[in-house]
Amino acid sequence: MIKIRGLNKWFGDLHVLKDIDMDVSPKEVVVVIGASGSGKSTLLRCLNFLEFAQKGNIYIDGVEANAKSKNLHTVRADVGMVFQHFNLFPHRTVMGNVIEGLTQVKRISYKEAVEQGEDLLKKVGLSDKADVYPAMLSGGQKQRVAIARALAMKPKIMLFDEPTSALDPELVGEVLQVMKTLALEGMTMMVVSHEMGFAREVGDRVVYMDEGSIIEEGPPSVIYSNPKNERTKAFLGQIL
């Protein structure tokens, strides 16, 4: 589904991604962990072309895309993204947020879009919030709307950039629950998150990144219980 080869990215002099090679298979759930500044979010943002790597190749569903690609926006439409700070459109209602991509990018009729929007809001448990503005929602509700908004495009893969880091602890569960359901339904997912419970339950693979490189990867049971690399051990010791 995603193939990354020799990806390198610099911010000025800072080498933030170093020769990243990675594959994500269809229906796979990959959880990326690592300290802040390890490059994990940047990697995710490169996959949605919100950042451009200077070197290396990215293939989405077999098709290479980069900064020069003509139809970058159509590539992005196939890659759903959920942000740490939700980034809901504050001037649109919940329904307006969910159908924005349907009416503007997929160009389906408003009526049809609303029908799909209703299904999506039901899926994330927010049918009763369709007509309110994001300002009226809790963080957990906002993030669930953001997930529905991304799902509306029927993406081939969903990227989650620390989806629960900005939430109050009691609101984390409801968002993880939606993500788990998605994973069990067979969505291909790449999740930057330190939620170990989530990773253990639905994650197929955990990738540990440090200083722009992939240090270690493997099934959650192995990475969390029996990491081989010293840096992985040290990092897990800090977060667990």
Alpha-carbon gap, residue 230 to 135, rounded angstroms: 44
Pairing of the two strands 29-33 and 14-24: unpaired
Minimum CB–partner distance for residue 78 and another protein (Å): 8
Backbone Cα Rg of the chain: 18
Does 69 engage in binding with another protein (CB under 8 A)? no
Does 81 engage in binding with another protein (CB under 8 A)? yes
Write out the two tokens for 172: 């984390």
Q: Which of 14, 63, 136, 184 binds another protein (CB under 8 A)?
A: 136
Q: Which 99-118 positions form the footprint of another protein (CB under 8 A)?
A: 100-101, 104-105
Q: Which stretch binds another protein (CB under 8 A): 5-13, 87-95, 109-117, 230-238?
A: 87-95
Write out the two tokens for 5: 């080869």
Tally of CA atoms within 13 A in the half-sphere of 230 that contains its CB: 0
Write out the two tokens for 13: 């002099």
Return the number of the residue (32 or 157) whose C-beta is nearest another protein. 157
Residue 144, phi then psi, degrees to nearest 5? -70, -35
Amino acid at 63: V
Does 135 engage in binding with another protein (CB under 8 A)? yes
Return the number of the residue (93 or 213) whose C-beta is nearest another protein. 93
Does 190 engage in binding with another protein (CB under 8 A)? no
Return the number of the residue (104 or 229) whose C-beta is nearest another protein. 104
Which residue's structure tokens are 């209703």?
118
Nearest residue to 92 via CA among 106, 72, 113: 113
Minimum CB–partner distance for residue 210 and another protein (Å): 25
By the criterion CB under 8 A, which residues form the site for another protein? 48, 50, 73-74, 76-81, 83, 85, 87-93, 100-101, 104-105, 133-136, 146, 149-150, 153
